[in-house]
């Protein structure tokens, strides 16, 4: 398929007249007619504008490969594509909200046990808590395990909030999209 045939094909897919396309590109209708009849070719600058207006890549316009023919049942119009794109944008926002909710829940599951564990171990608060004297009687390995668990919980909480606060919306979208 020639460049002119492709311009005509994609123009019709966008439901644009030659006048509408010419107006958006900034040329005369006669220039569009010449392009579509292969009597002349658009300049590089105009080709870029045409590809943006027709929502097609420059590679697709200039390549020698034919446009794939689709059945009418498989054909998705540009308006449908825009609807689907807006639908997926809404899905991204919903996923971002889920990500925020999950990070809040994880944060709570980290902070509450770490506060309770640290407070129980050092002050003997609540049932089953250890007094400082009982903590002192533990072996070196026992103290190490308790302190390691406590520090991992506290450090994990701090890291999750730091990461959450510094992630921009675009980075959250990238994270969500990688999971999907």
DSSP string, 62-104: HSSSPPPP--TTT---HHHHHHHHHHHHHHHHHHHHHHHHHHH
Cβ neighbours for 145, distance < 8 A, ≥ 6 positions apart: none
Give the end-to-end CA distance of the chain in Å, rounded to a whole number: 37
Question: At the fourth CATH level, which superfamily is domain 3-62?
Answer: lambda repressor-like DNA-binding domains (1.10.260.40)
Euclidean distance between CA atoms 101 and 70, whole angstroms: 42
Torsion angle defined by CA atoms of residues 114, 116, 121 and 124, in that order, rounded to the nearest 10 degrees: 170
Phi/psi for 16 (5° steps) reads -110, 140
Question: Along the 180 residues of the chain, how does pLDDT read in single tens digits?
Answer: 788 888 898 899 889 999 999 999 999 999 999 999 989 989 888 888 888 888 888 888 888 776 655 444 444 445 555 555 555 555 555 555 666 666 667 767 766 666 666 555 555 544 555 555 666 676 777 777 777 777 777 777 677 666 666 665 556 556 555 554
pTM: 0.40
């Amino acid at each position: 398929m020639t460049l002119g045939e492709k311009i005509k094909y994609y123009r019709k897919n966008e439901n644009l007249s030659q006048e509408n396309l010419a107006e958006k590109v900034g040329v005369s209708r006669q220039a569009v007619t010449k392009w579509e009849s292969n009597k002349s070719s658009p300049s590089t600058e105009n080709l870029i504008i045409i590809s943006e207006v027709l929502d097609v890549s420059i590679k697709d316009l200039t390549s020698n490969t034919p446009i794939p023919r689709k059945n009418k049942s498989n054909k998705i119009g540009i308006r449908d594509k825009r609807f689907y794109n807006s639908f997926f944008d809404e899905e991204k926002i919903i996923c971002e909200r889920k990500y925020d909710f999950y990070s809040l829940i994880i944060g709570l599951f980290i902070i509450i046990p770490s506060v309770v564990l640290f407070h129980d171990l050092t002050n003997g608060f609540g049932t089953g808590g250890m007094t400082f004297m009982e903590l002192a009687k533990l072996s070196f390995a026992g103290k190490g395990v308790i302190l390691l668990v406590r520090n991992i919980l506290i450090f994990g909480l701090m890291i999750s909030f730091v990461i959450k606060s510094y992630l921009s919306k675009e980075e959250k979208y990238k994270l969500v999209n990688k999971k999907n």
